[in-house]
C-alpha cells in the first residue's frame, strides 16, 4: 500500500514516514498544499494523510479538489485538537476519518487499516486472495494449496497491485507510478523483469492463476479454477 503524507511540520512528517515504513507501507511526504494536490491527483496512492493547515492551499481545499476530480482515495485528516468545525467540514467534503494532533501512533495505524479495509483492498488478517493463491504482504509470503514461498519486496508489491485491481488491466506506466513513484526513471523493462519473476513463482506453486499480457494495454490476472 502506498500512502501520501501532506504535512508542513517537517519533523512530524519525517516521524510519520519512518513509523509507516516500519509497518510495511510505501510512503511519500510533501509539505505544502500545492504539492499535496499535485501528488494526490496522480491517483497512485491508496490513502492520504492530510493536514488541514497548510501553506499555499489548505487541506479542505485539497480534499474538495480531488473529490471533484472523481478520486475516491481514502483521506484521513490530521486536525488540531478541538477544531470541531474543521472536522465537520472535512467529513462533509468527503474525508473518511480524522485524527486530532497530538495522536497515539497505535490509534493512527488502526484508523489507516480501517480506512483501507473500507476501500476493500485488504482483508483483516493482512492477506489478499485471488483464485487459488494467497498473498501476505507483511511477510512477503505467497501460498497455494499448502505450498509456500517468499517473494522479494517489489514482487509482492506488484502482485498486490494486480490482485487489488482484479480483472482490470494494469499498464506498465501505472505499475511504475505505483511501485516506484510518478517521478521515477524506472523503465518498462524493469516491469517486464518482475512480471517474469512472478510468472515463474506462480508456475512453481502450480497455481491456476496466470498473468496475462494484453498487447498495448498492460497486464491482468486470470484464475482458471
Q: Are 218 and 178 in contact (CB under 8 A)?
A: no
Q: What are the grid coordinates assigned to 190, written together?
A: 524493469
Q: Are 177 and 165 in contact (CB under 8 A)?
A: no
- Helix (H) / strand (E) element for 211: namely strand 209-214
CB atoms within 10 A of CB 113: 16
State residue 113's pLDDT score: 87
Query: Can you tell me whether residue 142 is helix, strand or coil?
Result: strand
pTM of the model: 0.59
State residue 195's pLDDT score: 94
State residue 114's pLDDT score: 84
Closest by CA to 56, choosing from 95, 30, 17, is: 30
Q: For residue 90, what are the CA distances in angstroms to 40, 78, 87, 175?
A: 16, 10, 5, 31
Alpha helices in the chain (DSSP H): 10-22, 33-40, 59-68, 84-92, 105-119, 153-165, 172-180, 188-204
CB atoms within 10 A of CB 121: 18
Q: Is 73 exposed, middle or buried (0-12, 13-18, 19+ CB in 10 A)?
A: buried
pLDDT (tens, 9 = 90+) of the chain, 225 residues, equals 789 999 999 999 999 999 998 888 889 999 999 999 999 988 889 999 999 999 999 999 999 999 888 888 899 998 876 667 777 887 888 888 888 888 888 888 888 988 887 765 444 446 788 999 999 887 888 999 999 999 988 898 899 889 888 778 899 988 888 887 766 677 888 899 999 999 999 999 999 999 999 988 999 999 876
State residue 182's pLDDT score: 64
Amino acid at each position: 500500500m502506498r500512502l501520501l503524507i501532506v504535512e508542513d511540520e517537517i519533523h512530524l512528517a519525517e516521524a510519520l514516514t519512518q513509523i509507516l515504513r516500519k509497518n510495511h507501507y510505501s510512503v511519500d511526504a510533501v509539505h505544502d498544499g500545492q504539492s499535496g494536490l499535485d501528488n494526490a491527483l496522480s491517483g497512485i496512492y491508496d490513502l492520504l494523510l492530510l493536514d488541514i493547515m497548510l501553506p499555499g492551499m489548505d487541506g479542505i481545499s485539497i480534499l474538495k479538489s480531488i473529490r471533484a476530480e472523481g478520486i475516491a482515495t481514502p483521506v484521513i485528516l490530521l486536525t488540531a485538537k478541538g477544531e470541531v468545525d474543521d472536522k465537520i467540514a472535512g467529513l462533509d467534503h468527503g474525508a473518511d476519518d480524522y485524527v486530532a494532533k497530538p495522536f497515539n501512533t497505535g490509534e493512527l495505524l488502526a484508523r489507516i487499516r480501517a480506512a483501507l479495509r473500507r476501500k476493500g483492498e485488504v482483508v483483516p488478517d493482512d492477506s489478499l486472495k485471488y483464485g487459488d493463491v494467497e498473498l501476505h504482504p507483511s511477510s512477503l509470503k505467497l501460498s497455494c494449496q499448502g505450498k509456500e514461498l517468499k517473494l522479494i519486496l517489489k514482487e509482492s508489491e506488484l502482485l498486490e497491485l494486480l490482485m487489488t485491481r482484479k480483472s482490470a488491466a494494469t499498464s506498465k506506466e501505472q505499475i511504475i507510478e505505483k511501485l516506484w513513484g510518478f517521478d521515477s526513471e524506472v523503465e518498462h523493462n524493469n516491469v517486464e523483469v518482475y512480471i517474469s519473476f512472478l510468472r515463474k513463482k506462480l508456475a512453481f506453486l502450480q497455481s491456476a492463476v496466470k498473468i496475462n499480457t494484453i498487447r498495448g494495454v498492460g497486464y491482468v490476472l486470470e484464475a482458471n479454477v
